[in-house]
Chain A
Amino acid sequence: MQGFPDELVAVDLGSAAISMRVDATLYPLDALYGAAYVFLDRCYVLLDRPTPTETRVTLSWKKGEPPEGALRALAGEFANELLSCAWRSKINEENRAMIEAATAQALGGAMGPPSLDDLEKFDFTDEAFEDPLGIAMSWEEKYGKKADGTSATRRGPHKEPK
């Protein structure tokens, strides 16, 4: 078939099928599954392992005779999809530890607020943090009326009523 190495791709026009030999050491089984799954609605897919280092993929046209060039296009698209799946599989494998750590942290955060037992064990002996801007002060403490009836000092611009 034009554009493909003869030792890798074989066409069987009689049964409207194309066979590809794939190096199993380059393309893991997960990648083959992923690529094959995408083509299930378009053709009949059969995988086989003639030797331990080789996987054979057979794609058969579903209905009638395939149009001119259809089998070649099918083989090309499958090869591209297989490469894409193999690459995704490799990325997934390399990032597995990071994904697991992030998932564990997310699940830990979703466990909810601490229980009374957890709070009982918590160490509150640390000194209070400094708050020079009064951010931790409540609204009543900051702007509320004082005991003598005057309001507390407001910060920022203040306009007298007309």
Chain B
Amino acid sequence: MAFLLLGQVALMSTNARQPGSEQSVLRTWIVTVLAPMVNVAGGALSYIKGGVASYVDLRNARQENLDLRERVQQLNDEANTLRERAAEYELLRRQLALPALAEYRQLSANVIARDASLWFRRLTIDRGTVDGVKLSMPVTTSGGIVGRVISVGLKWSVVQVITDKQAGVGAMLQSSRAMGELRGLDNARCEMKNISSSENVQEGESVVTTGLDRIYPKGLLVGVVERVEDDPNAPWHRLIIKPAAPVDRVEHVVVLLVEQRDLKMDENVK
């Protein structure tokens, strides 16, 4: 017994000391065995769940179709306006000789497992080193950022979601450009700290990445300010942020194939 316990004390101590401790040999082996099985079983379960959901959705299809047509019309108008603004921006950018915003290769992935316990917010996706995924690559959806890769195997990767308590994101308010630090909270929300209480922050304001954490490229949407909690004695706002991506129920994600050295290069260019 003493031998077994001492062995595990040594394992814990070694593991806790390493900065990238999520990537351990034991974890890699066990998840490599379990991930394909979970992927197949999850696929079958999703198929059944999808079938039931399709039937339920059909009942409201007509009204939804009408609503969506109206929404498509609105979005078309919005897209035209944005195209016009993009052209203006491009012209001004050339005149001022500003560097273009970097674009990165993207890789779509399916979520095969999530949150196996109460303690950590993690997703397992079906892409790994074979597909070019590496540690610390950012993971997003069309809505906003989801998290970053913290452990990677041949055909799977584990993503630490931004609502995890141990996750951190360099973020700023989109309109005022005030920078702060984003951390995960318990209830699928994040909190933003270090924003001076003299800043005027509005509920509903967008929060984007700063690019200074060397993980997420600059300008990706993180979420919106849901609530501003002010303590009269504190020099900082405490902002509760609702993530733009549905991080607690996301099924498909996109991995940005960007490495830390690419982000460093961007910074040097700017």
Whether chains A and B associate is no
Interface of B toward A, CB cutoff 8 Å: none
Interface residue ranges, A against B (CB under 8 Å): none
